[in-house]
Amino acid sequence: VQIITGGAATTPSGRRTATFSGDVWGDSVLPETDDVLINNVFFAPGARTYWHSHDRGQILIVTAGVGAVWDRDGRGGRIATGDVVFIPPGSEHWHGACSDRFMAHTAISLGGHEWLEKVAEDDYLAGAGPA
Ligand code: MN
């Protein structure tokens, strides 16, 4: 048994840069395994992931703020505290904060993942403009 007090990370928070736009910080909640990653992720206003997919899908649990998640087929929308999102295996998508709000979520990522291109500014503002 390992009690993780308050869901705190087991390692220092890390700035996420290479596949994210804007100011994004991540905490690894559980020690990393090959198959499951659990991260608390904080997105400053305007920050978001690049387009990407997860081999076996992903669950997002929004813990604070207001953001958005969208896939290539235009499915998605605004998300806020308490919302739970399931992203199917292989679905290309992005998630992040709205342009004028921060957003924090716990991300449970299953299997490997593939990073793609940056989300274009127009697409970002269309999907996650001012809340
Ligand atoms: Mn994702």
| pTM of the complete model | 0.92
Q: Cα of 6 to ligand 1 centre, how many Å?
A: 23
Average pLDDT score over residue span 75-90? 98
How remote is the CA of residue 93 from the centroid of ligand 1, in Å? 6
pLDDT digits (tens, 9 = 90+) for 13-70: 889 999 999 999 998 887 667 789 999 999 999 999 999 999 999 999 999 999 999 9
The span from the first CA to the last CA of the chain, in angstroms, equals: 41
Is residue 131 over pLDDT 70?
yes
Query: Which residues, at least 6 apart from 5, have a Cβ–Cβ distance to it below 8 Å?
Result: none
Average pLDDT in the chain: 93
Confidence of residue 8 (pLDDT cuts 50, 70, 90): low
Distance of CA 122 to the CA centre of its chain: 19
Which residue is listed with tokens 């953001």?
67
Instruction: Point out the least confidently predicted range of 7-11, 52-56, 81-85, 119-123.
Output: 7-11
What is the average per-residue pLDDT within 90-105?
Answer: 98
CA-nearest of 34, 23, 49, 47 to 107 is 49
- Cβ neighbours of 125 (radius 10 Å): 14
Q: How far is the CA of 115 from the centre of ligand 1 (A)?
A: 9
* 87 CA → ligand 1 middle, Å: 7
- Give the three-class secondary structure for 106: strand
Distance 1 CA to ligand 1 centre (A): 28
Task: Give the Å distance between the CA of 52 and the centre of ligand 1.
Answer: 6
pLDDT exceeding 70 applies to what percent of the chain?
A: 91
